[in-house]
Chains A and B, each alone.
Chain A
């Protein structure tokens, strides 16, 4: 009897403590902390988020900022359950990262009529079209924008003939379809495509087909370990066409080795060695984390800062007011540019086009990219007139 009263007392005390500790602003970091993407984003983007909070002074409007962390492991059921608990029981204000389209789509349904903002690193174009929401923001380029960002500079430079190696996932097929549309709309042709299964390890026959197709570029609508394997095997076969990856982060080059990914062209949202401002930020980041920030790490810093500014300016945590402020005011980027958030949730920003350096050109272990130009954000974003998002005024 005595023990049970003690237990009840302890439980009540714990509850009281939990409710007292509830900060005014709670950020739930829901990311892939394990698995293929974890290296690029995972703990690193969490570090960037914490950096942004620390740079902001650790509190907003006199209240501490709390960060909750959970792994969605790429599973929409797990991600949705975590997000639901955060919203119901922890009073979370911002769900951040969400770097998986399936998870983002599930959470998008959940927060539609709730006082919660979601800023996601997912790629599905549905999230800024049919499944857009009043409180959701797309930090990553969606598939359509990414496809245009990668192909348009190449098409302008005269690379007109393309061949696709596509992973047999919804992501791969969507990327290929979007890129094909962009290529054909801008005077290019698609010479052919081949689908590889997620179990594939040998890409030689695909590469030989690509080689004999007469294409100038081989687009890699795939990522991670497959992409590294394709790059490696392309080099072994002496494939002359240039590879055009869609998802290539500094961490991928690091793990595959620059020797296998030399002279690859693409576009990226942020590169640590772009200018003095990015180098200064990267030095600070590297001091604590041991490597320069990737583009996903950078946008976590940029967005978290923008979000905290919105809370400060609106003086509260009302998601509608914060959303309105964030859209009305330009988001400051680390490299000195600004970005804007549209009503469909897309972030319009200029992106960098790059060529990976050769071994001879590279000076150090993270010196991978030569920035060759800037692509105007408006030119690659999905025109609002084409948007299927019900929130867009013209619809």
Chain B
């Protein structure tokens, strides 16, 4: 056996391998991405498109949350504030200032980012439980402001939000047009999140998650990186909230309440913390439970409880988390 043969037999460098696959995915992830894309194309012919769009919004929301919890190691209990305020500002600017689809959505995203910056500056120096509590407290303040300010419409919410059109060309009042747009946005978000996680920036974030002291000793400004991740996550959450407000043509107190924060945590936990496709799997499970159990009224909560206990006991790392450790791959 010559040296050249041996060289051929050695597996290529892992970084080189990732670069070989399209869109920056690893092989396993690329397969999952293709499956997701196919599902997005086929699903509306079988299931109710608006319900699917709701799932997609929550996937984007959970991707934003996972970026923080899964890849930076920060547990926030206040993401409802970004999601909800993103929804309110998108809805309000579309309904009352006559903003078009893109401008309204941008308003929601910027609102999420700005709020994220404020939250981040206050909370980022703390970790663990203290960080979670500070974000929860700030989110409760935002909830109270929303409850009392006239612009949110109180219990009624901001209603009758016009959907507008995409670039003035595609009428989004047509559910199908809106569906294809939201589906594309979803796939784009998944590609984006994979890119961010595997960028040098994402690697620093994971280093901080695994060992903040060591990251600091290597010369990284840990707080600045955390803040940056927090603002990105908040902006994406605001964007997702805005998208939901456009789809359902309403923004309400539910979006800023702790329920929305819990939803993000649950979806991420059920799907698998720190996996690219975990949020998608989690959203499908959590939202389907809510949707298909709705006719049973009070039994929804009971069944949900049982299911979550089951997940915590049997799938500690979430569905995809267990799956990937079983097959020794990264999803």
Contacts and interface: CB of A to CB of B under 8 A. Distances in A.
B163 to A, nearest CB: 12
A105 B159 contact: yes
A138 B270 CA distance: 43
A260 B9 CA distance: 88
Given A11-B46, A88-B48, A80 B248 contact: yes
Q: How large is the interface on B (under 10, 10 to 19, 20 to 34, 35 or more residues)?
A: 20 to 34
A71 B297 contact: yes
Contacts of A17: none
A84 B178 CA distance: 15
A101 B48 contact: no
Q: Looking at A69, A106, A109, which has the most chain B CB atoms within 10 Å of its CB? A: A106
B155 A81 contact: no
A102 B48 contact: no
Contacts of B50: 81, 84-85, 88
Given A34-B298, A68-B295, A70-B295, A76 B157 contact: yes
B294 interface: yes
Contact of B160 (A88, A101, A102, A109): A109
A71 to B, nearest CB: 5
A81 B159 CA distance: 12
A380 interface: no
A34 B297 contact: yes
Nearest to B154: A170
A82 interface: yes
Contacts of A81: 50, 54, 248
A88 B175 contact: yes
Given A71-B294, A80-B249, 10 more contacts: A70-B294, A70-B295, A71-B297, A80-B248, A84-B50, A84-B248, A85-B48, A88-B175, A102-B155, A170-B155
A170 B154 CA distance: 8
A33 interface: yes
Interface string A56-84: 00000000000011110001111011101
Contact of A106 (B157, B295, B298, B300): B157
B46 A76 contact: no
Given A11-B46, A15-B46, A105-B159, A82 B252 contact: no
Q: Looking at B46, B51, B297, B298, which has the most chain A CB atoms within 10 Å of its CB? A: B297
Interface in A31-67: 33-34
Interface of A: 11, 15, 33-34, 68-71, 75-78, 80-82, 84-85, 88-89, 101-102, 105-106, 109, 169-170
7 contacts: A33-B298, A70-B294, A77-B248, A77-B252, A77-B255, A88-B175, A102-B157
A43 B46 CA distance: 31
A169 B46 contact: no
A75 B294 CA distance: 13
Given A88-B50, A88-B175, A106 B155 contact: no
Contacts of B155: 76, 101-102, 169-170
Interface string B27-46: 00000000000000000001
Contact of B254 (A69, A70, A78, A109): A78
Q: Which 8 A-B pairs have the closest CB atoms?
A: A33-B297, A102-B156, A77-B252, A109-B160, A102-B155, A71-B297, A89-B48, A75-B254
B276 interface: no
A76 B51 contact: no
B159 to A, nearest CB: 5
B59 interface: no
Contacts of A101: 155-156
Interface string B281-304: 000000000000011011010000
A15 B46 CA distance: 8
A78 B252 CA distance: 10
B250 interface: yes
Nearest to B159: A106
Interface in B161-200: 175
A45 B249 CA distance: 29
B260 to A, nearest CB: 11
Nearest to B300: A71
Contacts of B294: 70-71, 82
Contacts of B250: 76-77, 80, 106
A32 to B, nearest CB: 10
A88 B50 CA distance: 10
Contacts of A11: 46
Contacts of B160: 109
Contacts of A170: 154-156
Contacts of B255: 77
A142 B33 CA distance: 53
Interface string B234-259: 00000000000000111110110000
B87 to A, nearest CB: 9
Nearest to A74: B155
B297 A77 contact: no
A69 B297 CA distance: 9
Contacts of B300: 71
Given A85-B48, A88-B48, A88-B50, A77 B254 contact: yes
A75 B297 contact: no
Nearest to B253: A75
Nearest to A77: B252
A34 B157 CA distance: 20
Contacts of A88: 48, 50, 175
